[in-house]
Amino acid sequence: MATREPDIAILGGGLAGGLIALALAERRPELDVLLIEQDETLGGNHVWSFFGPDVPKADRWLLDSLVVKAWRDYDVAFPGYDRTLATTYYSITSERLDYELRQTLPPRAILSGQRVVEAQARELRCADGTRMSAGAVIDARGMRLAGELSGGWQKFVGRTIETRKPHGLERPVVMDATVEQLDGFRFLYCLPFSATMLLVEDTYYSDSSTLDRAAVVKRITEYCRCRGWGVKRVLGEERGVLPVVSGGDFAAFRRATGSGPAKAGTRAGLFHPLTGYSLPHAVRFAAALAARTDFSAEALAEFSEAHARAEWARGAYARKLAAMLFGAAAPIDRYRVLERFYRLDRKLIERFYAGRSTFADKLRLLAGKPPVPVGRALAALAGRGEANRLRHGSLRAEIA
């Protein structure tokens, strides 16, 4: 049994756990917090990006020191048209999160290279047998999916490259769907970090979670060649297989991830149903948690439960769009759903990603001729029909 008994033990030093630790250090410095991570470094290996309107100004303090790059606008491109949207876009990286955590927290607040194998509301056990008590335990060990949610997958390989000559890209390309459509809806995503440094990511909205890395890397190389980007060096690579959720039993999902400690991050189901992105959710959760006064295990578990339920309700509309994408559109036609979406008003698009669609937005999104067969669209939206039974897979994976 370890002699130390922190006020709060956070399990998992990834995005959600890291942001909670930073938020508590800033707003509740009197609390003794311990962040426990299985890897030696914190934050994993990611570039996390978000649209400016996804994070309210009141919560920006939590991200200010983490942002490595900001852009004023971004592009999308489809076979039928392309568009520049005047919405700000930001990126943060794992390296920066690791650095900031180590700068901000006292050394005793970080325990890396330690795997937690058992977690209760006030106790935990590590793989080396160490047991520890804490005032409260927060489980932020990443996504677990055991089949309670349904939908499909967003999977990708991203390569950060240095180009031989300036690549000429001035702003992010959040979706370039002019490429050959394979394995569902396919698009390239490009972030220009400097005149000669780019992240190029090949993404698939697919029925299957299998990612053929070698084939995707080849396609990234081919895309760079077609864009005239001679690759001098590959600086890094990231991979992801994220759930796209069109429905499911959220209460069962919560139960399956354990009933002991409070949960945070993707483990708590806090992510956007259509994109699998969780940064704005993690910021909201960390900021709200740090504003609390009661940090007892019971109070945090209740807070986490209520917060997750509210976010699930807020995601209802995005799940309908995911249902349309996976339930009604043939894989080869999925791009039409997004192509139509991106023709809509910029503010409506911003509100959709931020989970703040208004009633009028929802009507507007469904108004007019759907980009997929009407019968199947209605069945998918109603959550019934052959299309759903056939195409909505049961989501199972240990993603972290």
Ligand X SMILES: Cc1cc2nc3c(=O)[nH]c(=O)nc-3n(C[C@H](O)[C@H](O)[C@H](O)COP(=O)(O)OP(=O)(O)OC[C@H]3O[C@@H](n4cnc5c(N)ncnc54)[C@H](O)[C@@H]3O)c2cc1C
Among 24, 100, 111, 142, binds ligand X (CB under 6 A): 142
Q: How far is the CB of 101 from ligand X (least distance, A)?
A: 11
Which two structure tokens, joined as six digits, stand for 180? 């050959």
Q: How far apart are the first and last CA of the chain?
A: 27
Q: Which stretch binds ligand X (CB under 6 A): 72-80, 276-284, 310-318, 349-357?
A: 276-284
- Give the DSSP H or E segment for 206: strand 197-206
Report the residue number, 98 or 339, with the smaller CB distance to ligand X: 98
Among 8, 9, 15, 287, binds ligand X (CB under 6 A): 15
Among 44, 243, 269, 393, binds ligand X (CB under 6 A): 44
Which residues in 144-163 contact ligand X (CB under 6 A)?
A: none
Binding flag, residue 278, ligand X (CB under 6 A): yes
Report the residue number, 253 or 387, with the smaller CB distance to ligand X: 253
Among 16, 21, 322, 377, binds ligand X (CB under 6 A): 16
DSSP readout, 160-176? EEEESS-----S-EEEE
Q: d(Cα 25, Cα 9) in Å, to the nearest integer?
A: 13
Contact 138, 264 (CB under 8 A): yes
Report the residue number, 272 or 392, with the smaller CB distance to ligand X: 272
Which x/- pattern, by CB under 6 A, does the window 323-362 give for ligand X? ----------------------------------------
Task: Tell me how far the alpha carbon of residue 261 is from its chain's centroid.
Answer: 22
Binding flag, residue 400, ligand X (CB under 6 A): yes
Q: Which stretch binds ligand X (CB under 6 A): 6-14, 70-78, 294-302, 319-327?
A: 6-14
Binding flag, residue 172, ligand X (CB under 6 A): no
DSSP readout, 246-307? EEE-HHHHHHHT-SSSEE-GGGGT-S-TTT---HHHHHHHHHHHHT-S---HHHHHHHHHHH
Report the residue number, 242 or 328, with the smaller CB distance to ligand X: 242
Which x/- pattern, by CB under 6 A, does the window 225-244 give for ligand X? -------------xxx-x--
Cα-Cα-Cα-Cα dihedral sign, residues 323, 324, 328, 329: negative
Among 6, 17, 273, 315, binds ligand X (CB under 6 A): 17
Contact 361, 349 (CB under 8 A): no
Q: d(Cα 115, Cα 337) in Å, to the nearest integer?
A: 42
Q: d(Cα 207, Cα 241) in Å, to the nearest integer?
A: 11
- Hey, is 181 helix, strand or coil? coil
Q: How far is the CB of 202 from ligand X (least distance, A)?
A: 12
Residues forming the site for ligand X (CB under 6 A)? 11-17, 36-39, 44, 46, 48-50, 115-116, 140-142, 238-240, 242, 265-267, 276-279, 400
